[in-house]
Chains A and B, each alone.
Chain A
Amino acid sequence: MLGKLLKYEIPELGRKLAPLYIGWAATAVLLGLAVGPAASKSDFMVVLSGMLYSAAATAVVVMTVITIIQRYSNSLLGDDAYFNQVLPVTASEHIASKGLSAMIWVIVSGAVMCLTGLLIAIFSGSMAEFLRVMPDIWRDIIMKIKGEEWLILLEILIMMVFSLTKSVLAIYAAITIGHQAQKRTTLASIGAYIGVLFFETFVGRTGMSIFPNFFRNFDIYDMHKFFGGGMLITAALCAIYFLICKYLMEKRLNLA
């Protein structure tokens, strides 16, 4: 059933975000043209298109977060829940489908950001330069990183995915907790999210106080310890948030 949920959930988020991506790409093209050699080098145009580009970037980031929040709260706890929550699907599958599609679209938003950079390069006419320099930079990076550092890079990547999962689930948990208030659920959710942030700070502090000498040397070994410990704690947080959502949805659901 998770697959079927995703079949509807992933396009649904895309439907909401796609227009923003297109707008963002358009501002990137504009910026590229403004700074390119073909342009009249009007400072005004450069500043204007630069502002447009950053505004679009901000809009995409903000809207991605808002859409993710809305998709969860509307379809599982709001009016649309009158359809979704009577589907023969477990709470876990519902939460997982929302979480997975949210993560996919956060990653897509990131990819679109890279794409806008590429668009700027193309339309400013610096693509050739870019293509000439890139292999060198790439080679430099590859040459400088050696042996175990690759492992650290992998750990960083995994850590990023874990953190992303945790952030999404933390938001979901806050929304689900806030929904228990029946009235003023938005306010309660924000309150719950502040609580979640406090909780995470507390967990981090406690972790640090248990291992006070974590970063003694900043050597490879310490890095492994740092990322390893971080992954463990993040995974634990993910599990906690997921279980909070699941418990409240299964045992304490009260749709208004």
Chain B
Amino acid sequence: MARIEINHLTKNFGGLTALDEVDLSLEKGQIVGLLGPNGSGKTTLIKILNGLLTPTSGSAEINGMKPGVGTKKIVAYLPDRNALPDYMTSDQLIGLYKDFFEDFDSDKAGAMIDDLGIDRKQTLKKMSKGTKEKLQLCLVMARTAEVYLLDEPIGGVDPATRDYILRTIISNYNEDAVVVISTHLISDIESVLDDVVFIKNGRVVLHDKADHIREEKGESVDQLFREVFKC
């Protein structure tokens, strides 16, 4: 059974079609790039998998379950915005995660936060945007989840932070999990991807192994992306 199984998934917002008959099957043990320009439907897809949006038709399942309490236990989600209570400190956030997620490793999170040199007694409110994003990622990656859904984890951060984030993802995911990274900054993450999924106007236009693309087309995923999404 695939970790993530999406069948004929459609999502309309009023008259607008954000996702159009999407079929996608993702196995465990890989890092998948969900690639597309802004507004292509990446975030919509991730939100549906998290149960934050209700499909118009079709289905999205994780381990054979529709999004719900069962899937939320095994999905670690990094939203495209800060949703953590900003009056809390790192220590309090660790406690919060520990309270709600059985698979959360407090020691691991603490070590990662210390590595970043973040004062654990400082509230989120007083942190810079980049620090907040790194902290959020640490909390998410300190879970031993079966599915990681990371929405734009490298959007708007400096190159050093980006490298840190990618290393954090590589070093923390396990062979039993699938990591989905959505982004439009492909060249930055290309080297960490197993599979790439191109999404365009709400449709999956390509799903292939990254190395297979490079081998067959003799060009990088980034170059292929620029061709597929040429304006």
Interface set of A (CB-CB < 8 Å, partner B): 1, 4, 7-8, 12, 15, 79-90, 182, 250-255
Q: Is the CB of A252 within 8 A of B14?
A: no
Q: A15-B87, A80-B83, A88-B73 are in contact. Are A4 and B51 (CB under 8 A)?
A: no
Is there contact, CB below 8 Å, between A86 and B51? yes
Q: List the B side residues contacting A1 at CB < 8 Å.
A: 100
Partner among A8, A83, A85 whose Cβ is within 8 Å of the Cβ of B51? A85
A-B CB contacts (within 8 Å), total count: 60
Contacts A4-B100, A88-B69; A80 near B85 (Cβ below 8 A)? yes
Contact A87 B13 (CB under 8 A): no
A81 proximity list for chain B (CB < 8 A): 52, 83
Q: State in angstroms the CA–CA spacing of A254 and B48 once bound together.
A: 9
Which A-chain residue is minimally distant from B68 (CB atoms)? Answer: A250
11 A-B residue pairings within 8 Å (CB atoms): A4-B99, A12-B85, A80-B83, A81-B52, A81-B83, A82-B52, A83-B79, A83-B83, A88-B70, A88-B73, A251-B54
B124 to chain A, nearest CB (A): 12
Q: Which chain B residue shows the least CB distance to A78? A: B83
| B contacts with A: majority SS | loop
Asked if A79 and B69 make an inter-chain contact with CB atoms under 8 angstroms apart, the answer reads: no
Given the known interface contacts A4-B99, A80-B85, the answer about A86 and B69 at a Cβ–Cβ threshold of 8 Å is no
- Does residue B84 face the partner (Cβ distance < 8 Å to A)? yes
Complex CA gap A1/B52 in Å reads: 20
Which residues in B have their C-beta under 8 angstroms from that of A250? 68
Interchain CB contact under 8 A, B54 and A86: no
Given contacts A79-B83, A86-B52, A86-B75, list 14 more A-B pairs with CB under 8 A.
A1-B100, A8-B96, A8-B99, A15-B87, A79-B81, A80-B83, A80-B85, A83-B83, A88-B70, A88-B72, A89-B72, A90-B69, A253-B53, A254-B52
Which among A86, A251, A254 is the interface contact of B77 at CB below 8 angstroms? A86
Q: How far is the CB of A249 from chain B (nearest CB, A)?
A: 10
Q: How far is the CA of A181 from the CA of B152 in the complex (A)?
A: 27
Chain A residues whose CB sits within 8 angstroms of the CB of B47 once the complex forms? 255
Q: Whole-angstrom distance from the CB of B41 to the nearest CB of chain A?
A: 15
CB distance from B203 to the nearest CB of A (A): 21
Residues in A with CB closer than 8 Å to B10 are none
A9 smallest CB distance to B (angstroms):
11
Write the B60-83 contact mask toward A (1 if CB under 8 angstroms, else 0). 000000001110110101010101
Q: How far is the CB of A115 from chain B (nearest CB, A)?
A: 26
Q: Judge whether B50 is part of the interface by a CB distance below 8 angstroms.
A: yes
Which residues from chain B contact A87 at a C-beta distance below 8 Å? 72, 100
Measured between beta carbons, the chain A residues less than 8 angstroms from B79 are 82-83
Give min CB distance, A238 to chain B, whole Å.
23
When distances are taken between beta carbons in the complex, the residues of chain A under 8 Å from B68 are: 250
User: Would you call A252 and B54 a contact (CB within 8 A)?
Assistant: yes
CB neighbours of B99 from chain A (8 A): 4, 7-8
Q: Could you tell me if A253 and B73 are in contact, using CB atoms closer than 8 angstroms?
A: no
Q: Does B101 lie at the interface of the complex (its beta carbon under 8 Å from any beta carbon of A)?
A: yes
Closest-by-CB residue of A relative to B101 is A88
- Known contacts: A15-B87, A83-B83. The answer to whether A88 contacts B100 by CB under 8 A is yes
Q: Which 6 A-B pairs have the closest CB atoms?
A: A82-B83, A83-B83, A82-B79, A88-B72, A88-B73, A255-B52
B3 nearest CB across to chain A (Å): 17
Contact of A254 with B54 in the complex, beta carbons under 8 Å: yes
Residues of B within 8 A of A8 (CB): 96, 99
B81 partner residues in chain A, CB cutoff 8 A: 79, 82
